[in-house]
Chains A and B, each alone.
Chain A
Amino acid sequence: MQTQELRLSFTGKGGEYFVIWIVNLILTILTLGIYSAWAKVRRMQYFYRNTHLADSSFDYHGNAIAILKGRLIGVGLFGAYSVFLQLMPLVGLTILLLIFVIMPYLLVLSFRFRLYNSSYRGLRFNFVGTVESAYVTFLALPFATMATLYLLAPFMHQQVKAYQHNNSRFGQSSFSFSAGAKSFYKIYFFTFMQFVLVLALFGYGAYMMYSDYIKDMPREAIVGVVMAVYVLLILASLLIVPYFMSRIQNLVWNSTSLGEHRFTSSMTAVGLGWVIITNFLFIVITLGLFKPFADIRLTRYKIEHMAMLPAGSLDDFIASEQQKIGATGTETAEVFDVDIGL
């Protein structure tokens, strides 16, 4: 069955979000950081509820107390590590080791929390990945990657995305991920080549600066030429990161399906780069006040370049058994949230 693609849309507005953001910020400052958990809920809700697909919006149900607990644990662990590293380095290093060892477990909790607390049309998402596989993906693989001098990095990236997407659920439907490591290696390779090219050009520029040829030119001309070349190079190098980000995002979503439904993502390096670079410039010019506008612009760009290719009616999704039993939430997902972005 061939149906029309459903574009995601984002209706968040910079001015509107600025006020929410600044109120969040001042309350966080006045409460010495405690309010930040409630601020996160509000921020997430603002972004989720402004994201629409087929006339319905998404929603976020995270519990601020659970987020606060997670943040306290995070601050506690990191604080203990920093303090003990000064006083008793051995204890400090033990804590660091402990952080590494429990990290995969914390990641699983974080995925569960994030997904279980996300909903669309009243149905919750969920994450069913096991802790065992998390230890393979987030502890064993990184070690293997380092041991092979990062030759395994694209493979690890693919494994991470596969673990996340293959274990995600919407109601009773499963997400699945079909991209192999080969497509990741391709993106990493082209990114690396761009990096090498820019580096070589920088090196050549530096060499020219010291050459005899340039010494005879008037000073203003040298400065002008050098500046122009470097500005161009910096602009080019600034596009490498957006290139990588957009290609990965496109690959990940073009290879993801939910049941029979598929997704597309069509970000471009130049489009994303333009948003990122102008955001950065405006943030600097406004001494940071542009940040909420920047967040909105970046989210709009990402979301509006995604679409769903439905294989049937979206009405047919059914709530999971878990959600049917307790409408408010399950214990496993509500332990605490850990702020780890991947």
Chain B
Amino acid sequence: MLNASYFDGQSARQQPVSLRIVEGQLEVLGTDFVRNEPLDTVRISAKLGNTPRLLHFADGGHCEVRDHQGFEALFHESGFAQHTLLSRLENGWHYALAATALTIGFIVASYIWGLPWAADKISTQIPAGVSLAIDNHFLEAVDEGLMQPSKLSEKRQQKIKQKFESLRNEEGVPAYHLKFRGSKDIGANAFSLPGGTIVVTDELVALAAHDEEIIAVLTHELGHVSERHPLRQLLQSSVVGLVMTWYIGDTSTLLAAAPTALLETSYSRNFERRADQFAANILRQNGIKASRLADILEKLESSHTGKKKKEKEKSSHPVFELFSTHPDTDERIRTLRGK
């Protein structure tokens, strides 16, 4: 005898019943009724955690059983119901462990290999107009506060532009747009954007001891542009952001942005190394030592960590320094000097 609740499918009345199997028929015995159902017409729900087991009858009635041991004894041990593959998977801890390991492996592999590969492929398909629009949008946003118009004279800007333009490269030079900006908040810096815009700050121009150092930094940025690093980076972080939002979305969309920022703040070491190689190659072709890039990198590093306070860097606020540490820079400098 197995206790259950019976519902006739016509009303919400809950009736206590007892179940037993008599000659291949399921007998449902209520206080004021009895019904016999051939077992092959009864749909028996598969085990799903500790949720009630359900027996559905052809006419829409059903029984709800909460006594799992009793259910097991009445239906499974007597061979009237089989455990499904799924419930077996869900009830063996080693399957769960294997599934966990496999899933983690899959996600890690997608992140390390799949995502960069896909971003690389997709980045070649995005029309130049679209990525240029992204650049302009970005510049508009930062020009409203974070950055100011450059204070360099028109002559000085032209001189740097001309020197940079005159660089020769066997494999050709990608399309780029050089922009000068001043920025007290960012300090000495240069960066490239998805559409090929390269921005260099007045502070970097001031920091450089020799014009070749400026050219070296610009060539490094050109290396990023040449391999579409900014666009690939943008695509990668957008995908990570989307997945994060979808995954944690139920919890709170607001919070989902945080881990994305942590995962995708800076270029991978690989991107930096490739851009360094690109720069070193072009610089050599034009008779400039690759160590020029190392020199300016060193100065940038110390200007941002604040070791050289005398460099009139008082405008950089201590709070910003918390977020700017470049552990790989020493290694990059050594490599560039070794060439």
Q: Which of A10-18, A92-100, A184-192, A246-254 contacts B (4 or more CB under 8 A)?
A: A10-18
Q: In the complex, what residues of B have CB within 8 A of residue A12's CB?
A: 49
Assembly CA distance A54 to B247 (angstroms)? 33
Question: Which single member of A20, A25, A294, A295 contacts B48 (CB below 8 Å)?
Answer: A20
CB distance from B137 to the nearest CB of A (A): 17
Q: Is the CB of B67 closer than 8 A to any CB of chain A?
A: no
CA–CA, A171 to B9, complex, Å? 10
Contact with B along A180-206 (1 / 0, CB 8 A): 000000000000000000000000000
Complex formed: what's the CA distance from A279 to B251 in Å?
7
Residues of B within 8 A of A34 (CB): none
Residue of B nearest to A85 (CB): B130
Pick the residue among B11, B14, B90 that contacts A20 (CB under 8 A). Answer: B90
Q: Which residues of B contact A17 (CB under 8 A)?
A: 49
Inter-chain contact A57/B49, CB cutoff 8 Å: no
> Which residues in B have their C-beta under 8 angstroms from that of A45?
48, 51
Contacts of A57 in B (CB 8 A): 51-52, 64
What are the residues of chain B within 8 A of A49 when measuring CB–CB? 48, 51-52, 54
Chain A, residues 237-272, CB within 8 Å of chain B (1/0): the string is: 010010000000000000000000000000000000
Min CB–CB distance A284 → chain B (angstroms)? 6
Q: Verify A283–B49 contact, CB threshold 8 A.
A: no
Query: B280 to chain A: closest CB distance in Å?
Result: 35
Q: Which residues from B are CB-within-8-Å of A324? A: 10, 60
Q: For B8, list chain A residues within 8 Å (CB).
A: 122
Determine how close the nearest CB of chain A comes to the CB of B214; give it in whole angstroms.
30
Are A19 and B90 neighbours in the complex by a CB distance under 8 Å? yes
B92-100, B164-172, B328-336 - the one binding chain A? B92-100
Q: How far is the CA of A159 from the CA of B250 in the complex (A)?
A: 23
Q: Which of A18, A20, A289, A315 contacts B12 (CB 8 A)?
A: A315
Which residues of chain A are near B48, meaning CB under 8 Å? 20, 42, 45-46, 49
A316–B251 contact, CB under 8 A? Answer: no
Given the interface pairs A20-B49, A23-B95, A26-B99, the reply to whether A56 lies near B248 with Cβ below 8 Å is no
Contact B103 A25 (CB under 8 A): yes
- Contacting B at CB under 8 A, from A201-228, are 209-210, 219, 222-223, 226
B95 closest partner in A (C-beta): A23
Residue B175 interfacial (CB < 8 Å): no
Give Cα distance in the complex from A280 to B125, angstroms: 36
CB distance from B146 to the nearest CB of A (A): 13
B287 at the A interface (CB under 8 A):
no
- A318, B248: Cβ atoms under 8 Å? no
Q: How far is the CB of B260 from chain A (nearest CB, A)?
A: 11
Q: How far is the CB of A190 from chain B (nearest CB, A)?
A: 18
Closest Cβ of chain A: how far from B105's Cβ, in Å? Answer: 10
Partner pick for B11 among A23, A298, A317, CB 8 A cutoff: A317
Quick check: is A29 within 8 A (CB to CB) of the other chain?
Answer: yes
Contact, CB under 8 Å: B96 / A22: yes
CA distance A49 to B12 in the complex (A): 16
Answer whether residue B127 sits at the interface, using C-beta atoms and an 8 A cutoff. Answer: yes
Q: How far is the CA of A75 from the CA of B64 in the complex (A)?
A: 37
Cross-chain contact B60 with A122 (CB below 8 angstroms): yes
Contact status of A319 and B51, CB under 8 A, knowing A23-B89, A23-B90, A294-B251: no
B5 at the interface (CB under 8 A from A): yes
B251 touches A298 (CB 8 A): yes
5 extra interchain contacts, Cβ-Cβ under 8 A, other than A46-B51, A56-B5, A315-B14? A22-B100, A23-B89, A121-B12, A171-B11, A315-B12
Please give me the 8 A-B residue pairs with the lowest Cβ-Cβ distance, nearest first: A49-B51, A122-B7, A327-B60, A317-B12, A315-B13, A26-B99, A121-B12, A16-B49
- List 13 A-B pairs, Cβ < 8 Å: A16-B50, A19-B93, A26-B102, A49-B54, A121-B7, A122-B12, A222-B318, A280-B252, A283-B248, A294-B250, A298-B250, A315-B14, A318-B11
